[in-house]
Amino acid sequence: MKKVFVSGCYDIIHGGHVEFFNQAKSLGDYLVVSFAGEKSLKIHKNRKSSLPVYHKQRILESLTMIDEVVVGDDEIIGLDFKSHFLKIRPDILAVTEDDKFEKEKKALCAEVGAAYVVLQKTLNYEKVSTTEIINYIKAPQELPLRIDFAGGWLDVPKLSREGGFIVNCAITPKVSLHEWPFEIGGGLGGSAAYAILMGKNGVQSELDLGVGWQDPAVIKETGLCVWKSGFKPELEFKTSADFLKEKMALYWTGKPHVTYEKTDLTRDYEAIFQAGKLARKAVTPGSENLSKLAESVNITLDMQLREGMDLLPNYNEIAKKYCGGGWGGYAVYIFENSAERAKFLQHESTQPVEPFIR
């Protein structure tokens, strides 16, 4: 009888584990699975188990391809199963292609004459790790989106400028995986919010897309925020943005946009830089100035129009601009008072939003 041995944390059993067990069993006749006990999990992962040991053992024992389950409690990083392995003396030690302890495990195999076999990950649906599952469970149920007033693009690491600022604001209504009261591709930070709701690192997800970090930064921070331009989020200050209540609304242009496609276009970064500095002054706590903020927003719109974006309709607003970096999506309109906003909201493709701070 050919015995196959596998080991791992198996903290939350998922489809990838099941596929690995099936692959391992196909190598022989008898499959032994060792999972990390409380002590070894603490040493190896620096966390407690997501399930009590006996519950995890019972789940593994119920899988038909597994013939024996043991608990790895040896206090050896990467080899918490060593004592079981030497006792059972299997014919094969099967590992995944990303195993980090190849050298140590090959040496252990040599002690009993076992073969060291690397199995490729062949899961034909989206792969997930235990860490990702835990992050998904811990992820928030709902989040605000955001509008940016000035300084946008200076959060893209390769476009950052020393002394530059990005001024943005979290807004309601909030979004969730089940309720999304906005158009998709609207330039309101939706991709960042979705990543966070899925338990992912929002900042890294946006940087991986080739865009900046401002969306996930303000979505998680909330409030009206002033950020320093740079390679990573650095908050200078934030306010509640009470002076903007009942004065903001969105206009849907009728077509979605994709920001990362526009990152390398030629644009007036000096105007963006100056607009960000002006907006920072306009929202400084104790000296908020709606007119100055409107001026910074209009400077940004002027730059967007010179970049090639379409003209936006006039509705007696004091300021307006596209919310995202592409040619479409939502535009934010700012009004001097709630009465003017109410008139604006009588038109089609409009939607009220409010500043949000947690």
Residues of the chain with pLDDT under 70: 45
Largest separation between any pair of C-alpha atoms in the chain: 83
What are residue 165's phi and psi, to 5 degrees?
A: -135, 150
Cα 304 to chain centroid distance, Å, stands at 27
Q: Are strands 354-355 and 350-352 parallel, antiparallel or unpaired?
A: unpaired
Domain 139-355: state its class. Answer: alpha beta
Q: What is the pLDDT of residues 293-341, one digit of tens each?
A: 999 999 999 999 999 999 999 999 999 999 988 789 999 999 999 999 9
Is the Cβ–Cβ distance between 340 and 317 less than 8 Å?
Answer: yes
Helix (H) or strand (E) holding 60: helix 53-61
Q: Can you name the CATH fold of 3-134?
A: Rossmann fold (3.40.50)
The confidence score (pLDDT) of residue 153 equals 94
Q: What is the pLDDT of residues 29-51, one digit of tens each?
A: 999 999 998 887 777 767 777 88
Contacts of 135 (CB under 8 A, 6+ apart): 199, 200
Residue 346 CA to residue 259 CA, distance in Å, equals 29
The amino acid that residue 320 corresponds to is K
The confidence score (pLDDT) of residue 211 equals 83
The confidence score (pLDDT) of residue 243 equals 97
- Give me 286's structure tokens: 């104790």
Residue 23 CA to residue 295 CA, distance in Å, equals 64
C-beta atoms surrounding 204 within 10 Å? 12
The confidence score (pLDDT) of residue 122 equals 80
Domain ranges of the chain: 3-134, 139-355
DSSP letter assigned to residue 294: H
What is the pTM for the complete model shown? 0.80
The confidence score (pLDDT) of residue 330 equals 97
Is the Cβ–Cβ distance between 119 and 4 less than 8 Å?
Answer: no
